[in-house]
Amino acid sequence: MLFEQLQIRDVLVCPAQILAPMAGITDTVFRRFIKRLGGCGLIMTEFVSSEGMLRQNLKSKRFLYYTGEERPITAQIFGADADRLAEAAAMIEDLGFNLIDLNLGCPAKKVVKCGGSGLLRDLPNLETILRQIRAAVTIPFTIKIRIGWSDDEIVAVPVARMAEDCGVEAIAVHGRTRVQGFSGRARWDVIGEVKQAVRIPVIGNGDVMNPRDAEALAAATGCDAVMIGRAAPTNPWIFRQMADYFASGSYREPTEADRYALIREYYAMLVAEDIPGSIGKMKQFASWFTHGVRNGAELRHRVQSANTPREVLDRVDDFFSTPQTVPCEPATEQLVAAESDTCA
């Protein structure tokens, strides 16, 4: 079966379908939410600043909170100072994470200044970083990269070979450059070149919005696993759909009842755990979860105008208790715009 499993040393990823780290999205509640829907074999934290970790700021501590339900789990860090990154990596191992991942893909300007995809333009420093992180931890060490800074600076293959030589045990490749951001098409051909160049597992990422896209990615690249980023908030069922499709050749689209249960459960988890900023999270995710819902614009309005998390829950219950007569809303370009600041 396609993407049945992936072994990264002593960590079994089954199925070989991975939730990408996304700033502002993949917190502990969303990660558990995705795991409960099924089909996701590995989840990753939001990326955490090595400097923030060493200063022990509250945001970094919150990003690194996880529960046993989330295993296996990767913590992703970013930074540009090899010594500081190595020290932060050791802290992550002490926290009990199954793996550690280095972010070499975020295109955000504030991140590029101190790591992320900016390191793809400084390979000597990157090699020092990789070797020092590898020396600092005993858990599996992976990286997530973009294919390069621009079309004139495609460095995915040399970076992958260098990473393998430094002891990195798997590499996720987002098939876009830093300059592209999330525009244009992902270069699956470059992901395939990386797969041919190294022996460590290669995880494909970019432009996989449904199970057939994942199948096409595998055929085009030969990658060992698939990583899903921006499709997950808009279609949290995608991991289960992929598992069903690869096993049986078909998958089920969510019903109206499924959508209600999805929205209700995620919001209820936020309320039950008294997550800081829950009302903001509810309004943020309303932009994604309500597409495909009949009269979704009205539901979004009700959520956005609520003042408390409990009021949001009551409004969701009330909305779905009343039959909606307008057609289901298709996904729109608004979704892409809403996701453009993520670092998947």
Among the listed residues 239, 228, 229, 173, the one whose alpha carbon sits nearest the alpha carbon of residue 200: 173
CA atoms within 13 A on the CB side of 97: 28
- Concerning whether 223 is annotated as a catalytic residue, the answer is no
Token pair 């893909």 is at which residue?
105
Is residue 301 classed exposed, middle or buried when 0-12, 13-18 and 19+ CB atoms within 10 A define those classes?
middle
Q: Which residue out of 14, 40, 106, 328 is catalytically annotated?
A: 106
Range list of H helices, 95-237: 109-112, 123-136, 156-165, 188-197, 211-221, 231-234
Among the listed residues 282, 283, 301, 297, the one whose alpha carbon sits nearest the alpha carbon of residue 330: 297
CB 262 within 8 A of CB 289: yes
What is the phi-psi region of residue 39: left when phi exceeds 0, alpha when psi lies from -120 to 50, beta otherwise? left
Residue 105 CA: distances (Å) to CA of 64, 86, 202, 268: 19, 19, 15, 33
What is the phi-psi region of residue 34: left when phi exceeds 0, alpha when psi lies from -120 to 50, beta otherwise? alpha
Among the listed residues 235, 221, 246, the one whose alpha carbon sits nearest the alpha carbon of residue 14: 246
Among the listed residues 24, 38, 20, 23, the one whose alpha carbon sits nearest the alpha carbon of residue 283: 24
Largest interatomic CA distance in the chain: 61
State CA 127 to chain mean position distance. 25
Bridge pairing between strands 17-19 and 225-228: parallel
Q: Active-site positions?
A: 106
